[in-house]
Amino acid sequence: MTERQTPAIVLTVREYGEADLLVTFITPGQGRLTGIAKHARKSRRRFAHCLEPLSRVVFFLSPRTGRDLEFLQKGELVQSFPSLRRDLPRLGAAAVLSEVAGLLAGPPEAIGEIFASLEAALALLDQGLPPDSMLPAFLLRLLTLGGYGPRLGQCLKCGQEPAPPLWFSVPRGGVLCGACRLEVPGPLLSLNLGTWKLLRLAQGMPREKLSRLRFPRPQRDQSLAVFKAFLFHHLGRGLKSWSFWEKVTEK
């Protein structure tokens, strides 16, 4: 039997036993996987520069399949995105996007595009595009691909184009007219018209064009407040990377 190889983006790496490393990574074919790199703490030769979170690599996996745990034979680095690692807000945005991509990479028809979107976002952050804009635009894309796309086009209650003042229902994941909001259970978050327009624009855009969007600070803050509450509601917990993002971007 021959080993299998797959493109991968490393999500987390932690020590395992005496000499091994346990690696979670996202792939375009199978979504999120966990693999063990035997003896990788003693000799990193087989994994030169490959076992760093956020690196785009190729992993060679043992031919055994159908297990919960993959065995990593070796890895080859494709792109380490060095510039994004030297800037804390860019690193924070990349960490949030990779954690969310790993959590949402479930639907088989979507995992290829979730992988491609994460890879594109890391490349754009590495090129210096602003994390304030890349984070909300790509978070919305990952949520939509993963089956958690917020409903922004019509009011959840009346089905019409929502009339301001706009609200976002966290449990229902969509937008509401001011007049309809009392009929839908909360929590509700206020959404200003500018934020709503930007998010609608982002949701309808192909991946290649997302780099053109710019979220001014108030729209960034409001979009991220909505996504944070929405993710918390659906996951039942906060994201580890979100605290890091908030720490490195607080005023």
- Site of interaction with Zn ion (CB under 5 A): 155, 157-158, 177, 180
Cβ proximity to Zn ion: between 35 and 150 the closer is 150
Is-contact 152 203, C-beta < 8 A? yes
Alpha helices (H) along the chain = 82-85, 88-104, 111-127, 131-145, 193-203, 217-235, 240-249
- Shortest CB 219 distance to Zn ion, Å: 22
Is-contact 20 62, C-beta < 8 A? no
- Shortest CB 200 distance to Zn ion, Å: 16
- For residue 71, give both structure tokens: 């065995």
Cβ proximity to Zn ion: between 38 and 157 the closer is 157
- Shortest CB 30 distance to Zn ion, Å: 41
- Shortest CB 163 distance to Zn ion, Å: 7
- By beta carbon distance, the residue nearest Zn ion is 155
Q: Give CA separation, 103 vs 33, 90, 118, in Å.
A: 11, 20, 12
Cβ proximity to Zn ion: between 88 and 189 the closer is 189
As a whole number of angstroms, the distance between CA 222 and CA 114 comes to 24
Cβ proximity to Zn ion: between 54 and 180 the closer is 180
